[in-house]
Amino acid sequence: MNGADRLARLEARVRELEDVEKIRERLSTYAFNADVGRVEEYLDGWTDDSVYDITEDTKLSGRAQLETLLTAPDGLHKKEIENRSQHIHVNLVIKVRGDRAWAEGYSLVPVVRDGAITILTTAYNHWEFARSGDEWLMTLRQRRTVGGPTWGGEVLKSYLT
């Protein structure tokens, strides 16, 4: 390659590294917003046609349903999670494919109850993202509980490709 081609190639590689960092940040700030109860900011992290496939029986779609998840007065989020939780995302594999991206990894949610810390849930996750200007929005989260009816390998499988 000549110098101009090498420079252009390098710019593309650096952009991809930056994109991976931005997606890692999106997963962090998505958690911050859920944990401290910033509902608008939480919703703004998803695209309008997003899907949150939480369990075998519960699949949310679009802004209104996601808002209810966080704001329902009798829901699990308001009763046991908000302001006493950490939505932790670890062991992330993140792959950028142009203006789309996916990530796979683990989630766990320690919560404080009566002064003691309990891990409320652990799950396997597959996320998808779309580029939107300078940032990345979530379009899909598929989540399955560890030890639940679905084999984790049904969720964690894009990393094999």
Binding site for its own copies (CB under 8 A): 3-4, 6-7, 10-11, 13-14, 17-18, 20-21, 25, 27-29, 31-32, 35-38, 41, 83-93, 104-106, 108, 110-112, 117-122, 124, 145-147, 151-153, 156, 159-160
Residue whose CB is less far from its own copies, 75 or 110 = 110
Q: How far is the CB of 99 from its own copies (least distance, A)?
A: 19
Q: How far is the CB of 20 from its own copies (least distance, A)?
A: 6
Q: How far is the CB of 81 from its own copies (least distance, A)?
A: 11
Residue closest to 85 by CA, chosen among 32, 45, 150: 32
Q: Is 121 helix (H, G, I), strand (E, B) or coil?
A: strand
Residue whose CB is less far from its own copies, 108 or 130 = 108
The span from the CA of 51 to the CA of 56, in Å, is 13
